[in-house]
Chain A
Amino acid sequence: MTMENYRIDPNKGLEFGIYTLGDHLPDPLTGERISAEQRIHEIIEYAKLADQVGIDFFSVGESHQEYFATQAHAVVLGAIAQATKQIKIGSTSTIISTSDPVRVYENFATIDLISGGRAEIICGRASRVGLFDLLGYNLRDYEELYEEKFDLLLQINKQNVIDWEGKFRAPLKHAEVLPRPKNGSLPIWRAVGGTPASAIKAGYAGVPMFMAHLGGPAAAFKQTIDAYRHAARAQGFDPSELPVTTAGFFFAADTAKEALRELYPRINEGMKRTNGQGFPKQLFAQGTDPHSIINIGSPQQIIEKILYQHEVFGNQRYIAQIDFGGMPFENVMKNIEIIGSEILPAIRKYTQTNKKVQE
């Protein structure tokens, strides 16, 4: 597989995307929570606007627990596929461990056909594990379920007819998994938390990596990306053909302080509800540092941060999380506009000549 198979053209510079976990949280500033129906429609509107302003990628996550609304993320992506024209669409993440890879492939190949060849799958292991009980899986099999099913998904992507046997699913005998995606295969990525240990597994498998990062200096995450590329090379893969996406918090406003005021309470209160612990204010305050991984500030400050990160990481795509924790619709829409009108043009201008993946 090459960059071309992953539908990445390095000559076009750094890709920019937007992702949502599909969280469904009250806005801590008003205490109000919109309905799940409205939340899903708003997500579709975000995707439509992102498409219109020329953003490269939009994705929706899968979490099966209280305070989330996109458990059926593939269905939401189906609606987005129909409502958009150019933008690539994907899942951040599909929890392959607790799904049947055949069904996942069927769903995403279908989304690919609806969208005219724009679908991608990003497979994660789940950072919140309530879905194991809900869907009837044993948490003890956490790692094995993921590895076996992810591997099967990759095989389905490579072969039209498949023979397969494993532990967690009935065997496949000369099975044809249909429909096939528009261009023969789908970009399938491995979702990775910020640690090198997790990234190494993606490198060994020779698959592209989505790396999420919450906070801290960009330099700390560079180690993770280095470990990934090193592992890939050790297994005989060419890291320059393996795209890397980085993913994290984003908010643009007139000033950094204003952006902090908008974003921090939503992140802090939202994480308390979904993860049981808030985000320390002290760490968040460091987010405005030019070398911090949190892309917060004025549009110009954010442009400089994203370019700095691109220089450090040699990443092919950055995706921004704007809508977490009950962030109001207008704020998210305004940010998408700013990305389209101010941030994207600058990023493209400065990265389009940067052709080589950094080692």
Chain B
Amino acid sequence: MKIVGLSGSRVGSKTRTAMDYALKVINENYPDVDASLIDLADYEVQFSDGRNYLEYEGDTQRVAKAIMEADALIIGTPIFQASIPATLKNIFDLLPVNAFRDKVVSMMVTAGSPKHYLVAEQQLKPILAYMKAQMVQTYVFIEEKDFIRKQIVNDDILFRIDRLVEDTVLMTKTYTKLREEKEKEYGF
């Protein structure tokens, strides 16, 4: 099983901190999972110009291909101006419309204010649904006050991320197994 963690912003450290912790949880508990992290701050990704994702070059192609080859994604995103960052939306725009078909996608959201709790619900989930993701419905919402010096200091958040990782792996296993059974039934 391939899980890609996608840290969706080039600004700040909260999302990356949470993603690092999630990756640590995967690596410690699921040795058979092939987990990797894409932090968009580390890549030079161009804006989507409408071509097929295979036809981009350099970092843009590397990022798009890694996502397309994953069985599951954990998307980490901050909230900017009451929405997801442009960097993350651009990743969606680079991919085909059905890019997340047969993939499980879960979410972690970092924000400066609890007032943004519903942004992921109202803006991120519809995009993922349109792209045919199998979503882990509950996401982890993490606020400024939960971090000190690039560490998560709220046990409740840590427990929630543990459960998010577990749910992501469980749902990927379940969905993959049942889909394979169904496809076998087709008999071709």
Partner of A277, one of B49, B50, B96: B96
Contact A281 B186 (CB under 8 A): yes
Say which one of A144-152, A257-265, A343-351 lies at the interface with B.
A257-265
For this complex, into which size category does the number of interface residues on chain A fall?
10 to 19
- What 1/0 mask marks residues of chain A from 254 to 294 whose CB sits below 8 Å from any chain B CB? 00010011001000000000011100111001000000000
Residue A130 is within 8 A (CB to CB) of chain B in the complex = yes
Chain A min CB distance to B41 (Å): 25
Return chain B residues, CB-CB under 8 Å to A260. Answer: 186-188
Return chain B residues, CB-CB under 8 Å to A129. Answer: 50-52, 55
Contact B52 A139 (CB under 8 A): no
Contact A257 B55 (CB under 8 A): no
Q: Is the interface of A mostly helix, strand, loop or mixed?
A: helix
Known: A257-B188, A261-B188. A139 touches B98 (CB 8 A): no
Return chain B residues, CB-CB under 8 Å to A128. Answer: 52, 55
Return chain B residues, CB-CB under 8 Å to A276. Answer: 52-54, 68, 96
Return chain A residues, CB-CB under 8 Å to B181. Answer: none
Return chain A residues, CB-CB under 8 Å to B187. Answer: 257, 260-261
Chain B min CB distance to A133 (Å): 8
Return chain A residues, CB-CB under 8 Å to B32. Answer: none
The 8 closest A-B pairs by CB, nearest first: A260-B188, A261-B188, A276-B54, A285-B186, A281-B183, A130-B55, A129-B51, A264-B188
Residues of A within 8 A of B (CB): 65, 128-130, 139-140, 142, 257, 260-261, 264, 275-277, 280-282, 285
A-B contact pairs, 18 of them (CB 8 A): A129-B51, A139-B50, A140-B49, A257-B188, A260-B186, A260-B188, A261-B188, A275-B54, A275-B96, A276-B52, A276-B53, A276-B96, A277-B68, A277-B99, A277-B101, A280-B102, A282-B183, A285-B186
